[in-house]
């Protein structure tokens, strides 16, 4: 069978499987999360939600619809299984049409600045109204050396560039993983991160500081101002204003940590845990136990936070975790890393990415123009 026909038939089977009653409850939740209230305004939006659910959504069991489909269809050929597994690698973006090549369109992704040769299981007909300079918002999955359009396409005229650039920039800043498909972007981000970390340590004498919650914004603003002063001496433009939830600003203590892999992280009540790791007997108090447990089990708290607490005195750390876990033989030097891997598996399964995201010169200039137009 022709690879395009095979892909089309396989995708139809996968979507039917995703829409089957066995996934109804989780699909409803996916729609609710994507569109609170459950109101989906058009077929294109619904198609995007279903496509994401079928290819990427993590089910309550931890696997995906593709994983379930593969288990339910053991008779699939090796080529079909390989194609399905490849579809987990979805590219989302805002694409500028660079031209056409037979039954394909050549697309430049504004988010990762990579070029994709994209085809459709509908053939040339899918791109009949597409012209060079137009923009597409769509999803692509691998198809051999090419890419296959997955779900519907939203098509915009060339004149929509000014509206789409800031949207693409926002997506890039919120989802670094999409940008770092481009290895050059990732290398640039890591260089920027290393330079910023040097400035942070130069300012504070260490890779983290512990401050009252109401000092978080002033400290971070001062850090950003220093970065801007060094990058553009003499520029009087103030740094972007920072906003944080009240739980951060009202916290007794917050650690501001410049992680070498990701960048700035904030850890609430860190000072209290520093007391605990200095005086392990405090683990007998409920508040200390609860906060340490939240650090250990919290999916949004990096294992780096616990390492920072344990490394100054590994013996004390051993005692703390012996009491918390009720394991007399626990030793932080021997068992600490395994403990973190068990409770923080997500951080070890995939490389942690920088939170500093380099965007294109066009995006940067456009965003700067919008900032200057914003009334104060």
| Backbone φ, ψ for residue 93 (5° rounding) | 180, -175
Cα distance from N-terminal residue to C-terminal residue, the chain: 62
pLDDT beyond 60 at 371 = no
Is residue 202 in a domain?
yes
Residues 223 and 205: their CA atoms lie apart, in Å, by 13
Transcribe 157-190 into DSSP letters: -GGGHHHHHHHHHHHHHH-HHHHTTSHHHHHHHH
Asked which of 239, 268, 297 is the last residue of a domain, the reply is: 268
Q: Which residue has the higher pLDDT, 69 or 238?
A: 69
pLDDT of 307 reads: 97
pLDDT of 20 reads: 95
Interval 13-60: pLDDT, tens: 999 999 999 999 999 898 888 765 555 566 777 888 899 999 999 898
Burial class for 105, CB neighbours closer than 10 Å (0-12, 13-18, 19+): buried
Interval 175-184: pLDDT, tens: 888 999 999 9
- Looking at the 3D structure of the chain, how many domains does it have? 4
Residues 269 and 178: their CA atoms lie apart, in Å, by 32
Contact call for residues 137 and 45 (beta carbons, < 8 A): no
Considering the domain architecture, whether residues 343 and 283 belong to the same structural domain is answered as: yes
pLDDT of 304 reads: 96
Considering the domain architecture, whether residues 72 and 31 belong to the same structural domain is answered as: yes
Considering the domain architecture, whether residues 315 and 285 belong to the same structural domain is answered as: yes
Is residue 364 in a domain?
no
Considering the domain architecture, whether residues 146 and 128 belong to the same structural domain is answered as: yes
The mean pLDDT of the chain is 89
Considering the domain architecture, whether residues 25 and 79 belong to the same structural domain is answered as: yes
List the domain range (segments joined by +) for residue 288: 270-353
pLDDT of 119 reads: 93
pLDDT of 375 reads: 34
Interval 289-309: pLDDT, tens: 999 999 999 988 999 999 999
Considering the domain architecture, whether residues 241 and 274 belong to the same structural domain is answered as: no
Average pLDDT (264-288) is 97
Considering the domain architecture, whether residues 109 and 74 belong to the same structural domain is answered as: no
Interval 201-228: pLDDT, tens: 999 999 999 999 999 999 999 999 999 8
pLDDT category, 376, cuts 50, 70, 90?
Answer: very low
Considering the domain architecture, whether residues 289 and 240 belong to the same structural domain is answered as: no
Considering the domain architecture, whether residues 99 and 70 belong to the same structural domain is answered as: no
Is residue 359 in a domain?
no
Interval 195-207: pLDDT, tens: 999 999 999 999 9
Asked which of 212, 244, 268 is the last residue of a domain, the reply is: 268
pLDDT of 372 reads: 42
Average pLDDT (120-143) is 91
Model pTM above 0.75: yes
Is residue 373 in a domain?
no
CA atoms within 13 A on the CB side of 228: 13
Least confident of 38-47, 189-198, 252-261: 38-47
3-state secondary structure (DSSP) of residue 17: helix
Q: What percent of the chain has pLDDT over 90?
A: 68
Is residue 367 in a domain?
no
CATH number at residue 141: 2.40.50.140
Considering the domain architecture, whether residues 12 and 41 belong to the same structural domain is answered as: yes
Burial class for 319, CB neighbours closer than 10 Å (0-12, 13-18, 19+): middle
pLDDT of 367 reads: 55
SS (H, E, C) 246-307: HHHHCCCCEEEEEECCCEEEEEECHHHHHHHHHCHHHHHCHHHHHHHHHHHHCCCCCHHHHH
Is residue 358 in a domain?
no
Asked which of 86, 109, 134 is the last residue of a domain, the reply is: 86
pLDDT of 310 reads: 97
Shortest CA distance to 94 belongs to which of 369, 354, 366? Answer: 366
Interval 144-163: pLDDT, tens: 889 999 988 889 999 999 88
Considering the domain architecture, whether residues 41 and 98 belong to the same structural domain is answered as: no
Task: Kindly state the DSSP code that residue 317 receives in the 8-state scheme.
Answer: H
Q: Which residue has the higher pLDDT, 356 or 136?
A: 136
Interval 311-354: pLDDT, tens: 999 999 999 999 999 999 999 999 999 999 999 988 998 888 99
311: CB partners within 8 A, 6+ apart: 317
Considering the domain architecture, whether residues 106 and 81 belong to the same structural domain is answered as: no
Is residue 166 in a domain?
no
Is residue 363 in a domain?
no
């Amino acid at each position: 069978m022709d690879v395009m026909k095979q892909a089309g038939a396989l995708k139809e089977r996968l979507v039917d499987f995703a829409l089957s009653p066995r996934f109804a409850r989780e699909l409803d939740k996916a729609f609710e999360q994507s569109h609170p209230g459950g109101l989906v305004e058009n077929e294109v939006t619904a198609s995007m939600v279903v496509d994401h659910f079928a290819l990427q959504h993590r089910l309550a069991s931890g696997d995906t619809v593709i994983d379930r489909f593969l288990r339910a269809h053991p008779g699939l050929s090796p080529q079909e299984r390989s194609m399905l597994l490849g579809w987990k690698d979805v590219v989302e973006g805002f694409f500028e049409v660079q031209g056409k090549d037979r039954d394909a369109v050549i697309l430049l992704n504004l988010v990762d600045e990579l070029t994709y040769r994209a085809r459709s299981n509908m053939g040339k007909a899918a791109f009949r109204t597409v012209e060079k300079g137009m923009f597409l918002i769509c999803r692509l999955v691998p198809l051999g050396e090419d890419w296959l359009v997955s779900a519907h396409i939203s098509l915009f005229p060339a004149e929509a560039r000014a509206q789409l650039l800031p949207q693409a920039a926002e997506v890039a800043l919120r989802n670094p993983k999409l940008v770092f498909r481009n290895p050059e972007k990732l290398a640039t981000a890591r260089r920027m991160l290393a330079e910023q970390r040097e400035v942070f340590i130069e300012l504070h004498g260490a890779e983290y500081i512990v401050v009252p919650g109401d000092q978080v914004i002033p400290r971070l603003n001062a850090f950003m101002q220093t970065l801007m002063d060094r990058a553009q001496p003499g520029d009087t433009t103030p740094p972007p204003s920072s906003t944080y939830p009240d739980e951060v600003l009202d916290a007794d203590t917050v650690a501001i940590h410049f992680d070498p892999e990701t960048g700035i992280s904030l850890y609430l009540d860190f000072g209290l845990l520093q007391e605990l790791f200095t005086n392990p007997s405090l683990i007998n108090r409920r508040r200390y136990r609860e906060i340490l447990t939240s650090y250990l089990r919290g999916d949004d708290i990096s294992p780096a936070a616990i390492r920072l607490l344990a490394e100054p005195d590994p013996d004390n750390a051993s005692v703390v975790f012996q009491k918390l876990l009720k394991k007399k033989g626990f030793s932080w030097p021997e068992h600490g890393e395994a403990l973190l891997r068990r409770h923080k598996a997500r951080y070890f399964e995939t490389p942690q990415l920088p939170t500093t995201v380099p965007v294109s010169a066009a995006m940067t200039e456009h965003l700067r123009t919008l900032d200057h137009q914003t009334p104060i």
